[in-house]
A = this chain, B = another copy of it.
Amino acid sequence: MTTRITELFGIQYPIIQAGMVWVSGWRLASAVSAAGGLGLIGSGSMNPELLAEHIRKARQATERPLGVNIPLLRGDAEDLVRVTIDEGIRIVFTSAGHPGKYLSLMKDAGCVVAHVVPSLKHAKKVESVGCDAVVAEGFEAGGHNGYEETTTLSLLPIVADAVGIPLIAAGGIADGRQMLAAFALGAEGVQIGTRFAATVESSAHDVFKQKIVESGDGDTVLTLRKLAPVRLIRTPFAQRAVEAEARGAGKEELAELLGRKREKRGMFEGDLEEGEFEAGQSATLVRTIDTAADVLRNLLSEYRGATARLPEIPES
């Protein structure tokens, strides 16, 4: 399967496992890469030393291309970038910050750089600063989200029309039908989070994996809009955030409510009451905890099946 994305990253299938805090360490990333996709180590929950360790273990586990996701808003983002380069990684997905930050550092080292955005305006900036690809992520995505609330279906075609660099679709994609939809909309690759969070190789706590599997329609919610919009599974903490928002709580009150370390307490430690569990609307489609390789296999076979079912329009 060849697109500009498979060629850019040197991978077999244009399927990228999203870098996720507390979830995508070396085990998940290397499993996805070994199966022909692109695995990303999520450095957002790692200090530079731990990141170096994860990169080494992942590179021992597979010789295939691997990437790292780096949130640019982190105070020590430059250290994460340097460790990534020093440890031999040449694929970087940046997010949460200005796409031009540390870009020349990475390009000088020979990196291919993609940047994640939630809106058309940001996508244009990604191209203008010189990134190699753009990830357009819709409202249905788990975790941090944009203020425009533009959905994947609405965002992809306008970004495809506006930029010349290859487009990766993110947000709401868990099966091969949705992957085909993303390609119909102009994407040349897909970035998948929630589906990979609930795999055998994910470092998410079993409680988190189980919550994803059990989630039905309406069981995630975008909240903390005045602070930094985030999509969460409706656990007790998320519900408290929703209620605070509904009564008009301001940024400060929300920041206090959120406090610290809720991501770790939820996704890594499995604290259902106080933790935060980031997941996308596609959780509804995740019904089993599979291996990463099986997820890829299923995506490809569902993609083929959905392609075969498409009705043709006769030329009139």
Contacts and interface: CB of A to CB of B under 8 A. Distances in A.
Interface of A: 1-3, 13-14, 119-121, 138-140, 147-155, 157-158, 171-173, 175, 177-178, 180-186, 188, 216-218, 221-222, 226, 246-249, 280-282, 284-285, 300, 303-304, 306-307, 309-316
Given A119-B217, A217-B158, A218-B148, A153 B172 contact: yes
A146 to B, nearest CB: 8
A165 to B, nearest CB: 17
Nearest to A313: B1
Contact of A181 (B14, B138, B185, B312): B185
A149 B311 contact: no
A218 B145 CA distance: 13
A119 B218 contact: yes
Contacts of A181: 153, 180-182, 184-185
A186 to B, nearest CB: 6
A158 B310 contact: no
Contact of A216 (B120, B172, B185, B248): B120
A286 to B, nearest CB: 11
B185 A222 contact: no
Nearest to A154: B281
Given A246-B248, A248-B248, A149 B222 contact: yes
